[in-house]
């Protein structure tokens, strides 16, 4: 049996997404993911989605989901993702994600799914975990495989989910014949790893114990300056890059370097003999200077929700064209009747 095939893109396809679980992306999202996405759209056929279905795995106010989905999409664009070159869309607007997820779930053993990190961690802590969280990695696999994505941008904390995706694709292909593209990881630049300002041994995250360690991209500039001035450093007063001995100072140097383009070595020379106050002030100036045009673009985008919704609709239509071909191919392989046109 020869399955229907979708035409290969002129460029390799890449896919990534973020959940709309907060009212603003943070500096770690921007430097660790969004900046990479912008660069990737030059060389790849790029698909960037708002993972609104994944956001439902935790109790959330419906109004928050609606608002944050638009805000997240707008932040992709404000950060430099071009909707003329990259498909920007909501996960829930392309039904093929969940259609493929069901087929993949039927190829996944219960024990395999129960060992997934997020589900295991949450249940070990005695926290409530729903079936959506249990099947979260399978939907994540479907998100990737439905687009025949050759590459997936990943950080260290996402490697397990990509391995699951690869395992499911290989298992499906072994049973039903060559059908799904087995994706390769696209390792994000390590230099963009941004740490918490108050706990600099941990990544900057919206789940941080204190908001003081988080720089939100939509924070008021004065608030950003205050947070950076109160960033944890150390007592020896020497400005040098040493992640193990001086994590706080190293984090500030990393932020400066990532936004200014100045090498760490040049920054160490520049700040030689200066105190931490000078470092913090200059980092604050660099961050505010980078974020102000981003915030202006956000204001423009959010002032016209109809235009934003139009961008999402066009992105979903482009995504569905690819996804439906993969869905049809998979359905034929497993013996499901093709839907009548």
Domains of the chain: 13-192+305-334 (3.40.50.620), 211-299 (1.10.240.10)
pLDDT exceeds 90 at position 158: no
Instruction: Please say if 203 is a catalytic residue.
Output: yes
Range name among 189-203, 216-230, 308-322 with the lowest pLDDT average: 189-203
Q: What is the Cα–Cα distance from 255 to 290, expressed in whole angstroms?
A: 11
**Predicted pLDDT of residue 336:** 96
**Predicted pLDDT of residue 119:** 55
Whether 104 and 138 have beta carbons less than 8 Å apart is answered as yes
**Predicted pLDDT of residue 165:** 92
pLDDT exceeds 50 at position 7: no
Q: Which tens digits make up the pLDDT trace of 200-232? A: 999 998 877 778 999 999 999 999 999 999 999
Q: What is the Cα–Cα distance from 19 to 207, expressed in whole angstroms?
A: 13
Can you tell me the mean pLDDT for 317-336? 97
Residue 203 assigned ligand-binding role: yes
Q: What is the Cα–Cα distance from 68 to 24, expressed in whole angstroms?
A: 8
Q: Which of 122, 212, 222, 280 is catalytic?
A: 122
Whether 72 and 78 have beta carbons less than 8 Å apart is answered as no
Proportion of the chain above pLDDT 70, given as a percent: 89
Instruction: Please say if 280 is a catalytic residue.
Output: no
**3-state class (DSSP) for residue 179:** coil
**Predicted pLDDT of residue 109:** 84
**Predicted pLDDT of residue 6:** 44
- Residues whose CB is less than 8 angstroms from the CB of residue 271 and which lie 6 or more positions away in sequence, other chains included: 239, 278, 279
Of these ranges, 7-11, 29-33, 116-120, the one predicted with the greatest mean pLDDT is 29-33
**Predicted pLDDT of residue 339:** 73
**Predicted pLDDT of residue 124:** 53
Instruction: Please say if 125 is a catalytic residue.
Output: no
Tokens 């191919």 correspond to 329
Range name among 65-74, 127-136, 241-250, 290-299 with the lowest pLDDT average: 127-136
Residue 206 assigned ligand-binding role: yes
Torsion, Cα 244 246 252 257, to 10 degrees, reads -60
Mean pLDDT for the chain overall: 90
pLDDT exceeds 80 at position 157: no
Is the pTM here over 0.85, yes or no?
yes
**Predicted pLDDT of residue 9:** 58
Torsion, Cα 158 187 143 57, to 10 degrees, reads 30
Q: How many CA atoms lie within 13 A of 278 on its CB side?
A: 11
**Predicted pLDDT of residue 153:** 87
Tokens 């997936």 correspond to 152
- Left, alpha or beta for 182 (phi > 0: left; psi -120 to 50: alpha)? beta
Q: Which of 206, 222, 226, 227 is catalytic?
A: 206
Q: Which of 120, 125, 189, 203 is catalytic?
A: 203
């Amino acid at each position: 049996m020869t399955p229907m095939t979708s035409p290969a893109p002129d460029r390799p396809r890449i896919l990534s997404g973020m959940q709309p679980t907060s009212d603003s992306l943070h500096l770690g999202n921007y430097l660790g993911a969004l900046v990479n996405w912008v660069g990737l759209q030059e060389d790849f056929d790029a698909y960037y989605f708002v993972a609104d279905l994944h956001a439902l795995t935790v109790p959330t106010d419906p109004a928050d989901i609606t608002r944050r989905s638009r805000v997240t999409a707008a932040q992709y664009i404000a950060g430099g993702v071009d909707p003329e070159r990259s498909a920007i869309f909501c996960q829930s607007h392309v039904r093929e994600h969940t259609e493929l997820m069901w087929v993949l779930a039927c190829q996944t053993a219960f024990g395999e799914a129960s060992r997934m990190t997020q589900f295991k961690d949450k249940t070990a802590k005695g926290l409530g975990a729903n079936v959506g969280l249990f099947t979260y990695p399978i939907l994540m696999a479907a998100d990737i495989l439905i687009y025949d994505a050759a590459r997936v941008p990943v950080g260290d904390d996402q490697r397990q989910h990509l391995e699951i995706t690869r395992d499911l694709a290989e298992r499906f292909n072994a049973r039903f014949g060559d059908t799904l593209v087995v994706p390769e990881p696209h390792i994000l630049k390590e230099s963009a790893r941004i740490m918490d300002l108050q706990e600099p041994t941990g990544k900057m995250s919206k789940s941080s114990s204190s908001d003081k360690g988080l720089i939100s991209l939509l924070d008021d500039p004065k608030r950003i300056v205050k947070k950076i001035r109160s960033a944890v450093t150390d007592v020896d007063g020497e400005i040098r890059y040493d992640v193990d001995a001086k994590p706080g100072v190293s984090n500030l140097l990393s932020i400066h370097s990532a936004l200014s383009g100045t090498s760490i070595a040049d920054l160490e020379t520049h700040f030689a003999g200066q105190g931490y106050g000078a470092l913090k002030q200059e980092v604050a100036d660099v961050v505010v200077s980078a974020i102000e045009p981003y915030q202006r673009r956000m204001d423009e985008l959010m002032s016209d929700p109809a235009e934003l919704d139009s961008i999402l609709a066009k992105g979903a239509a482009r995504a569905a064209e690819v996804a439906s071909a993969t869905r049809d191919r998979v359905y034929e392989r497993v013996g499901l009747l093709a839907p009548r046109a």
